[in-house]
Amino acid sequence: MADTSQRYLVGIDVGGTFTDILCLDTENQSLLSAKTPSLPGRQWEGVLNALGELGIAAGDIRAFVHGTTIATNALLERKGAKTALITTEGFRDTLEIGRTRRLIGGLFDIKFERPKPLVERPLRIEVPERTAADGEILSEIAEYDFGPLSEKLKTEGVEAVAIGFVNAYANAKNERDASTALSKLMDNAPVCFSTDVVAERGEFHRFSTCVLNAYLTPVVIKYLDTLAGELKDRGVDAPVNIMGSNGGAMTLPQAANFAAGTFLSGPVGGAGGAVRICEMADVQHCITFDMGGTSTDVALIYQRTPRISHDNQIDAYPLQVPQLDIHTIGAGGGSIAWVQEDGTLEVGPQSAGALPGPACYGRGGTEPTISDANLLLGRLPTERTLSGGLQLDKTASEAAFSQLAEKLGGSDIVPLADGVLRIAVAKMAGAVREVSVHRGFDPRDFALLGFGGAGPMHVFLVAEELAVPQVIVPRYPGHLSALGQLLADQRLDMVRAWGGKLSTLDPAELNEPVTEMKSEASKTLSESGFGEDKQNHSFTVDMRYVGQSYTLSVPLNENTIDWNDIRNAFAQRHTETFGHADANNDAEIVNIRLVSLGIVDKPALAFSSDNTGDVIVEERKVWFGDDWADCPIYNRDYMEAGFSLVGPAIIEEAGGTSIVPPGWTVTVLEAGSLDCRNPQIGS
């Protein structure tokens, strides 16, 4: 444990373009921030650079939480470990057969090609094992000689092994025995088995998740070991945690064992930070709008709780682990505007990235991007530097857009830049609809919470596109993901396949699995330093009507288990989701789930302002809609609580710029957030 006299809590979010760091000084509740370029392929070096920018003593850091894209990048770039799959006789091709339907691509896409499995067929090896659906071991694996098999794997250069046996969710003994035997023979190659990753029915999704975990484990371990070693060399003695895709923090050993749980590690921090901002701004429901340099991530938060999905897909591969329901599109500040073969204008998903970056960054980029469009429309400064000392080059932006205009017949670059933004806004509005309308929610009932380096610049336009009347912009918007990581509780998710028809089950039968799951989770949290008073355990059950193939999650009170209450709760949830319930059909339980939190102390967060400077920095011409308007530029550091204004306006601060269109009203809340309303839409 770190010395409690250490004063700094640090959260770091590594994005595609920038690495953001936020540091809380627990002595005075003040915040320090920095932003440095991300270094693709050397993420850990970007983390260290960001830490160095803070100017604090490494030995004074109490806790260090980090969001990383290592797992995501390794999969997308197919740079994971060479992996083998050990499986039950007859199930060698489960990964390739899947559910005999297309995982990606449209039904009528004649150019569709089925993605190749992460494990080549020669490395999918069958063994004489069999477990029945009721858990009975029909064929033991304990006496099987894995020696020749392990030698074959070593000869083939296998770096990780996944074990997936059919029906192992009902009895994991054979998988566990096989893992124990192979781990002794495979030297340093990690071995994982499916029920240790996700103990659910459905061998295809379970095998796929296990293979993903094995494929990524060596990459994640190498990164974590490098990062931990470099931090230690620099005097950081604090425990290092990694953000998990479930919205909670994981210790380094947990992350090393559960690499598949680190997908979306960075974006989930933004959702956690958004919950804290909603609490401080007295907002119940919001849709997060996190726009960075490479992508835009959106998530729906209902009653200050992010939605969780247990049936996910990363690229072309099913991933059956708890994950925040985040939708991502390739639209960021660095997204490139280009001309398609039919002569139409398109934006993204290609990005200029961190290097060379947009043309206006002056780092060698020549392609026109969303950032260049904003600069041409007067929305970014040319005389003053941005966060990190970046001086924008308008001449480079003009050159980039002039080349684009020539390809389109020589159109004026100002309307062209406006058109680029309109296309991007339409795509981003579609992403918001994906997590709201497509899930049964009306986005007009939510506030849009804009953050990320480019989020506040575009969130108002997206709100107008969707007729959303309220926008919230937090203090330090470019660092909200880092804030969420800094505040994250440690989280454990457990699932057990259990159940049957409610008409045939005795509620008392739930006591044993519930008690065992809670005891195991409590022990793990205690070992991480969380006493019983710092633990929170909540159960849910996955339910469906008999005959359905999909489930809905229903809360379970472990102290008062009543089938009537559970059935009524399920009927209500079914009605909310699908518009109807079936009173004549029996319902059944499929899984028991447990979420266990190790609660960290939540700081007050003092977002103070400085009233010693001029709140208006300058005035300049800014393009809104279809014409130029005289627009005041505000310094957010000098906007005290209660300060209000009416757009058009631009509000600048370290790490973010808010573009407020004409007619919007802005009020600074006590917590520092900007509460923005559009009277023309209504409140």
SS3 605: coil
Domain spans of the chain?
A: 8-74+221-262, 79-216, 276-329+424-483, 490-598
Q: In degrees, to the nearest 5, what angle opens at C-alpha 626 toward C-alphas 624 and 627?
A: 70
pLDDT number for residue 104? 53
CA dihedral for 347, 351, 352, 354, sign (positive or negative): positive
To the nearest 10 degrees (0 to 180), the angle between helices 394-407 and 413-435 is 90
Question: Residue 523 corresponds to which tokens in the numbers above?
Answer: 């022990």
pLDDT number for residue 349? 87
Question: Residue 104 corresponds to which tokens in the numbers above?
Answer: 């990606």
Q: In degrees, to the nearest 5, what angle opens at C-alpha 71 toward C-alphas 218 and 269?
A: 135
pLDDT number for residue 391? 83
**CA-wise closest residue to 459 among 424, 483, 485:** 424
**pTM confidence score:** 0.85
Same fold, 276-329+424-483 and 490-598: no
Indicate the fold that domain 8-74+221-262 takes in CATH. Answer: Nucleotidyltransferase; domain 5 (3.30.420)
CB 289 within 8 A of CB 432: yes
CA distance 84 to 124: 6
Question: Residue 482 corresponds to which tokens in the numbers above?
Answer: 């880092």
- Which ranges of the chain have pLDDT less than 70? 1-5, 16-17, 101-108, 354, 386-389, 606-611, 682-683
pLDDT number for residue 153? 95
Three-class DSSP labels, 265-292:
HHHHHHHHHHHHHHHHHCCCCEEEEEEC
CA distance 571 to 581: 5
CA distance 441 to 286: 11
CB 194 within 8 A of CB 210: yes
Question: Residue 85 corresponds to which tokens in the numbers above?
Answer: 């799959």
pLDDT number for residue 504? 92
CA dihedral for 354, 360, 362, 366, sign (positive or negative): positive
Q: Are strands 160-164 and 191-193 parallel, antiparallel or unpaired?
A: parallel
pLDDT number for residue 353? 75
Indicate the fold that domain 490-598 takes in CATH. Answer: Dna Ligase; domain 1 (3.30.1490)
The CATH code of the domain at 276-329+424-483 is 3.30.420.40
- Residue 641's identity, in one-letter code, is A
